[in-house]
Structure 1
Amino acid sequence: MLTIHHLGKSQSERIVWLCEELGIPYELKRYDRAPVMAPPEYKALHPIGSAPVITDDGIVLAESGAVMDYIIAKHGPKENGGGHLALTKDHPDFAQYLYWFHFANGTLQPALMRVLISGRLNPPADHPAVLTGQQRMELCLALLETRLGDVPWLAGQDFTAADIMTVFCLTTMRRYLPYDLSPYPHIRAYLARIGARPAYRRAMAKGDPDMEPLLD
């Protein structure tokens, strides 16, 4: 049985959402933070000790991208409607899908974490780490804004796992690093489309019922 070990208000919301989009059975185990980091029982699941973690028929797997690839490949074949979430090499948007799928954790989230960590160290506002971190974050958001002004979803015309990977950085991550999306109308319109998806609403209600998603 596929089990999602969901740490509250964390990246593991992606995995709950993925399974809701696929319409596959899974067991959800929720863990509260203690008080900020994962509790000991969550850290014991995997040597890295961070979310997400899944277990499936004796397999223990972490890392958002790896978990999503695994679930789509094993539990979401095209015949049950799941294959469209990961575009194949024959799809015209394959390269865009790959780029945006990996952009989330390879570029966007590290940029946000750089600003978050430098802010907590409380350096001077003109410190190079602050300035370059802010510039990098703004560059990432501007790139997203441009892309979403051209297409409705990150890979192109179709909603894919690239969107599931990215939305955490634009929503829940803002609870830890507040930033203003008002200069980015295309990102805000995109988040409105996300919020209209029944699978997203179900996932957030199940995973974090006490949290209102930041969709604007």
Structure 2
Amino acid sequence: MITLHHAEQTRSMRTLWLLNELEVPFEVVVHPFDKSLRDPAYLAISPAGRVPSLEIDGETMFETGAIGEYLCERFSPEGLGRMLGSEDRMAWLTWMHFAETLSQHCAALTQQHIALRDDTMRSPIVMKLEAARVVKCYDAIEARLEGRDHLLSSGFTAADIGVGQAVYMAQHFARLDAHPRVAEWYGRISARAGFQKSLPQGAPLFAQSFFEPWPVV
């Protein structure tokens, strides 16, 4: 049995989407995005108190990129994955892990806009810099998608899932108006049933769809 430990609208959404696409049996334990992730029982599964974490065959995993690679190797090596010897292996690995580059900027912005509840604690410089870095990531994806329907020439893979989920989060902080190829690609992959099943079912972490670089009072 596979058990995913998940908090809605976090990186674990990436793993949930991948599991939905793999169509393998799994169960989900939903955690609130709060201090309960520091509970000793959960720290025994995920030592840093982060999501996602995965319990599988009596073992645990707790790094998003590693979880994605392992699940693809085991359940879809040449479907959603690209294994050793594949022509697209290098590109698959690059874009699988590029998802974390974009997610790091989203995490910094989430902290500024949501976790820091008092405006005096927020930094307009950090907000603007991180939003600009999100746009630079959009630039990279836009360039990659020239002449392609997906990040890999050989079709839809877990790389699209990882980067697509990061773009889902990033759009709370930077719009896609100046990136038409990214917008078209995102519209196509977010229409997939696997993505739709990974959307938040409870109260969303983000109370609004878009946050300006500096809080509007």
TM superposition score category, shorter chain reference: 0.7 to 0.9
Alignment TM-score, normalising by the size of structure 1: 0.78
C-alpha separation between the residues in 2 aligned to 1:193 and 1:108? 20
Say yes or no: does 1:209 pair with 2:209: no
Provide, for residues 70-115 of structure 1, a one-character-per-residue CA deviation record: whole Å limited to 9, x for no partner: 22223x055xxxx32111343332222121111111x222334455
Matched letter for residue 15 of structure 2: I
Provide, for residues 127-171 of structure 1, a one-character-per-residue CA deviation record: whole Å limited to 9, x for no partner: 5x6665444332211111121232111122411111111122211
Shift of 1:62: 0.3
Shift of 1:55: 0.6
Which residue is 2:159 aligned to?
162
C-alpha separation between the residues in 2 aligned to 1:38 and 1:210? 18
Q: 1:9 to 1:134 in 2, by over 3 A?
A: closer
- Alignment check: 8 A CA contact 2:131 2:174 kept: no
Shift of 1:58: 1.6
C-alpha separation between the residues in 2 aligned to 1:14 and 1:130? 24
Q: 1:39 to 1:33 in 2, by over 3 A?
A: farther
Which residue is 1:111 aligned to?
105
C-alpha separation between the residues in 2 aligned to 1:77 and 1:196? 21
Matched letter for residue 101 of structure 1: M
- Alignment check: 8 A CA contact 2:2 2:57 kept: yes
Which residue is 2:55 aligned to?
55
Matched letter for residue 201 of structure 2: P
Q: 1:85 to 1:59 in 2, by over 3 A?
A: same
- Alignment check: 8 A CA contact 2:22 2:76 kept: no
Provide, for residues 158-204 of structure 1, a one-character-per-residue CA deviation record: whole Å limited to 9, x for no partner: 11111111122211354xx5221222111111111112212222333
Which residue is 1:31 aligned to?
31
Matched letter for residue 160 of structure 1: T
Which residue is 1:95 aligned to?
90
Superposition pairs of residues 1-216 of structure 1, within 5 angstroms:
1-34=1-34, 38=37, 40=39, 42-74=42-74, 76-77=75-76, 83-105=78-100, 107-114=101-108, 121-123=121-123, 127=125, 132-174=129-171, 177-204=172-199, 208-210=200-202
Q: 1:131 to 1:43 in 2, by over 3 A?
A: same
Alignment coverage as a number of residue pairs: 199
Matched letter for residue 47 of structure 1: P
C-alpha separation between the residues in 1 aligned to 2:76 and 2:156? 16
Structure 2: any 5+ residue segments left out of the alignment? 210-217
Pairwise CA RMSD of aligned residues?
Answer: 2.8
C-alpha separation between the residues in 1 aligned to 2:82 and 2:60? 25
Shift of 1:50: 0.3
Structure 1: any 5+ residue segments left out of the alignment? none
Q: 1:211 to 1:184 in 2, by over 3 A?
A: farther
- Alignment check: 8 A CA contact 1:151 1:157 kept: no
Q: What is the identity percentage for the equivalent residue pairs of Structure 1 and Structure 2?
A: 25
C-alpha separation between the residues in 1 aligned to 2:159 and 2:167? 13
